[in-house]
Copies of this chain bind each other. A is one copy, B any other.
């Protein structure tokens, strides 16, 4: 068991000096270059986990790491690490990063920002000529988004021991490929990388990320010190009816999976909308078989994403979903599988205070903010002292090609991160 690190109340002077080496233009250039991998026609990114685009993005990150002399390594679930060695090679490292995979219609900043801000922090340390006591490691977690292979956060959950590696490798994507197959292909390309063990406990983990919501912009703050992460439950619903000819089967004799599924979605929306502003409910995926205009659908499969900041409410509302589906299934069959249940969490108060103080010392306006979206930091939280830094998202838009954050806001977030990392690493 690694020793616990004491979280300081504020940044040290050496770290503040390091932050002056954060280069806004370099960070921006790297973000834009990273966004060429999987670039879409409308300025977004389609770089799904373990795809060719994802593999190319990792190669680019490695090339930047190599220029800085960082030590690259990979673990069994494909998490990619770049290490700046500290004087005490045996001490648990300070870990920072996020993910490089994107949604199918994602933006340039979700995930990439956290990885490249950490890289910027390490480059700033190098430029400032400081040699950290503890090693600093940049990480790109595998498959945070869960678009191609659901559910997401595969890299961080397996790293933290929250999910079993073999079960994750067996997950199959839409096209029938398994995570194991896609991962083996990626690791084959990266076979020159040394392999490291899963789950070695870091001294601390700090993740920078765009907010993906409207709060910082509305409040006029640049840095969000993340208080905690809303709880999330993900369900997969399968409705099974009976195929038939649209013109000949009388309505009352039908087993129409489409009508049943539409009624379930409408009923869940009715029920949850009445439960207050804290509930968030999304049916993002919905697939119909055989999906032909004149055939009564025999099968519908859809996803339910339910979020709530309160653990009891999340449990209660989530448990209700099965009943609502059952009540609206008519003469079809329905099964509701829970794919994940992540309770809400609060990051440690000393870590939040330290990040807030670091931002304030740099003169960057900050505030505490709750995260409605899940992040890899959720799973690291149970492993080591963890914190998150948000920067504003224009219009609160994310998981969209229109995602945008101002270059100077990105740089201010990276400066805050750098001060935090450098302080922790030089103690």
Chain A positions near chain B (C-beta within 8 angstroms)? 103-105, 145-147, 150-152, 211-214, 230, 232, 234, 243-253, 256, 258-259, 261-263, 265-266, 269, 272-273, 277, 279-297, 303, 305, 307, 371-374, 396-400
Residues of B contacting A146 in the complex (Cβ-Cβ under 8 angstroms): 293-294
Is B280 in contact with A284, judged by CB distance below 8 angstroms?
Answer: no
Choose one: B266, B284, B291, B398; the contact of A291 (CB below 8 Å): B284
Residues on the B chain within 8 Å of A283, using CB? 258-259, 262, 297
Asked whether, in the complex, the Cβ of B265 is within 8 Å of the Cβ of A258, the reply is yes
Establish whether residues A103 and B399, one from each chain, have CB atoms under 8 Å apart when the complex forms: no
Determine if B246 and A292 form an interchain contact, defined as CB atoms under 8 angstroms apart: no
Smallest CB separation, A309 vs chain B (Å): 11
Residue picked from A151, A280, A287, most chain B C-beta under 10 Å: A280
Q: A146-B294, A147-B292 are in contact. Are A280 and B247 (CB under 8 A)?
A: yes
Q: Which 4 A-B pairs have the closest CB atoms?
A: A213-B248, A247-B373, A262-B265, A246-B282
- Chain B contacts for A151, CB-based, 8 A: 293
Given contacts A291-B284, A294-B152, contact A230 B251 (CB under 8 A): no
Taking the nearest CB of chain B, how far is it from the CB of A424, in angstroms? Answer: 28
Residues of B within 8 A of A399 (CB): 243-246, 292, 294-296
Taking a contact as CB atoms under 8 Å apart, the answer to whether B258 and A145 are in contact is no
Q: List 21 A-B contacts (CB under 8 A).
A: A104-B291, A147-B294, A150-B293, A212-B245, A243-B400, A244-B397, A245-B372, A245-B373, A248-B396, A250-B277, A251-B280, A258-B284, A259-B283, A262-B265, A262-B266, A282-B294, A282-B296, A284-B294, A284-B297, A285-B288, A286-B297
**How many angstroms between the C-alpha atoms of A256 and B250 in the bound complex?**
32
Closest CB in chain B relative to A38 CB, distance in Å: 14
Q: By the criterion CB–CB under 8 Å, are A247 and B262 in contact?
A: no
* CB neighbours of A272 from chain B (8 A): 251
Q: Which of A213, A244, A396, A397 has the most CB of B within 10 A?
A: A244
Most buried by B among A269, A287, A307: A269
A-side binding surface: helix, strand, loop or mixed?
A: loop
Q: Is the CB of A103 within 8 A of B292?
A: yes
Q: A258 CA to B302 CA in the complex, in Å?
A: 11
Q: Which residues of B contact A213 (CB under 8 A)?
A: 245, 248-249
Cross-chain contact of A105 among B243, B256, B371, B400 (Cβ < 8 A): B243
The reply to whether A291 and B297 contact each other, CB–CB distance below 8 Å, is no
Return chain B residues, CB-CB under 8 Å to A147. 292-294
**Chain B residues, Cβ within 8 Å of A290:** 103-105
Given contacts A256-B282, A262-B283, A307-B247, A105 and B398 within 8 Å (CB-CB): no
Q: How far, in Å, is A288 (CB) from chain B's closest CB?
A: 5
Q: Is the CB of B277 within 8 A of A244?
A: no
CB of A342 to closest CB in B, whole Å? 11
C-alpha spacing A282/B273, complex, angstroms: 28
* Complexed CA–CA distance, A399 and B151 (Å): 34
Question: Is B265 a contact of A259 with CB atoms below 8 Å?
Answer: yes
Q: Is the CB of A247 within 8 A of B269?
A: no
Contact assessment for B248 and A211 in the assembled complex, using a CB-CB cutoff below 8 Å: yes
Q: Which residue of B lies closest to A259 (CB)?
A: B269
**Minimum distance in angstroms from A228 CB to a CB of chain B:** 13
Besides the contacts A245-B400, A247-B371, A251-B280, what 4 more A-B pairs have beta carbons closer than 8 Å?
A: A211-B248, A244-B400, A259-B269, A284-B292
Name the CB-closest residue of B to A275: B251
Minimum C-beta distance from A107 to chain B (A): 10
Nearest to A281 among chain B residues (CB) is B251
B293 touches A303 (CB 8 A): yes
A273 to nearest B CB, angstroms? 6
- Distance between A319 CB and nearest chain B CB, rounded to angstroms: 19
Residue contact A251 to B273, C-beta cutoff 8 Å: yes
A318 to chain B, nearest CB (A): 14
